[in-house]
Structure 1
Amino acid sequence: MSNIKSLFATRLYHAALSAHGKPIDTDELAASCFSIAEDDEAGQDWCEENGYAGYTSYASLDDLPYRFPIFKDLVAVLDKHVAAFAKDLEFDLGDRKLVLDSLWLNILPEGGIHTSHIHPHSVISGTTYVTMPEGASAIRFEDPRLPMMMAAPGRVKEAREELRPFIYVAPEAGDVLLWESWLRHEVPMNMIEEDRVSVSFNYNWA
């Protein structure tokens, strides 16, 4: 009798922010994001120089929790989600813990895109979704084994989720996704007129 099992799992954490800690007001969070984007001239200049259609504070601001209290509240909730994910991953952290390393906001208008990338020098990365209008771009995750598959045939269209080369996830506003930072991902072009707003972050082993 055959024995076939899955090895080397890639875990993806998906939950509502409200599952840990007090609920975050996404309307207030959205207003804060747009206010920051409007005032952040350095971030606007970076986006223009680098051809980023939309806005990100990634290269300009590193103190969002000190600018608006709601970001401080958000970090307190994210800490609990990351701790839960680290437990699921069965990390041996010793007497240390995973701590926030960076936090930035993203506003993708119609035509905006975030090309395929990973998050070097981090352990867990993630995004929480502030606005996700109907039809806004899902996030796409890539099987990390693809470069080593060489002559492997493609998968059938109805392949089981864990065997597909790409997985699309369309969260709702107020959701959080977490993954190990080596997992390659991207956001395809936003094809709707409304802005897709999210807050992304990295956690390191302190």
Structure 2
Amino acid sequence: MTDIRSLFVTRLYHAALSAHGPAIDPNEMEASCYSIAEDDEAGQQWSEDNGYPGYTSYASLTDLPYRFPIFKDLVTALDKHVAAFAEDLQFDLDGKTLKLEDLWINILPEGGIHTGHLHPHSVISGTTYVAMPDGASAIRFEDPRLSMMMAAPGRIKDARPEMRTFAYVAPKVGDVLLWESWLRHEVPMNMSEEDRISVSFNYSWG
């Protein structure tokens, strides 16, 4: 008898933000993101100095929930999504909870990309989507074993999704994606003439 099974599964959480917490108006969230970006000169400068296309508040602002009430509502919803994902992952949190570590805005214009990266020192990372115009790029996840595959041949074109080296996920406005922070990911080029807007975050433990 032959037994072939999957080991060490990588989980990806994909849900509507509205499934937990207060309702978030995407139009209000989009306006809030642009308002913050317009006033955040430090974030604009960091983006320019570091070759980040468009704008991110990643290195400049740490208090979004205190600036606009809608971000406080967002955190209330995210806390519940993250708790649900942590339960699915069967984490032993030793009576503690995962807590928001940081939260930031990303505005990616036409032609903008965000190269492959991971989020060290965090447990769960994720993104919720504010504006995804036609042609806006999906997020791409990379098989975490890639650097160790060495002499392995490539996969066939129609390989099962769980067997592929890269996974592309095209979220909609109002969706939230969560993954474990060690999972490498990137945003391919935005082919739309309009901005791709998202809010990303990290949760830590202890």
Which residue pairs with 1:131 in the alignment? 131
Per-residue deviation, 1:187:
0.2
Q: Secondary structure in 2 aligned to 1:29? A: helix
How many residues were matched structurally? Answer: 206
Which residue pairs with 2:142 in the alignment? 142
Gap runs ≥5 in structure 1 = none
Tell me whether 1:198 sits opposite 2:198 in the alignment: yes
2-structure distance, mates of 1:49, 1:22: 37
Alignment of 1:50-61 (within 5 A): 50-61=50-61
The normalised TM-score by structure 2 is: 0.99
2:164 maps to a residue whose letter is R
2:21 maps to a residue whose letter is G
- Give CA-to-partner distance per residue, 1:160-187, whole Å, 9 cap, x none: 1111000000000000000000000000
1:65 maps to a residue whose letter is P
Kept after mapping to 1: 8 A contact 2:22/2:76: no
Which residue pairs with 2:21 in the alignment? 21
2-structure distance, mates of 1:138, 1:13: 15
- Give CA-to-partner distance per residue, 1:85-123, whole Å, 9 cap, x none: 000000000111100000000000001110000000000
- Give CA-to-partner distance per residue, 1:59-109, whole Å, 9 cap, x none: 000000000000000000000000000000000001111000000000000
1-structure distance, mates of 2:67, 2:22: 20
Alignment of 1:1-206 (within 5 A): 1-206=1-206
Which 4+ runs in 1 deviate beyond 3 A?
Answer: none
Percent identity at matched positions? 78
Per-residue deviation, 1:23:
1.7
2-structure distance, mates of 1:19, 1:185: 25
Q: Secondary structure in 1 aligned to 2:115? A: strand
Q: What is the root-mean-square deviation of aligned Cα atoms in Å?
A: 0.6
Gap runs ≥5 in structure 2 = none
1:165 maps to a residue whose letter is T
Q: Secondary structure in 1 aligned to 2:104? A: strand
2-structure distance, mates of 1:160, 1:186: 21
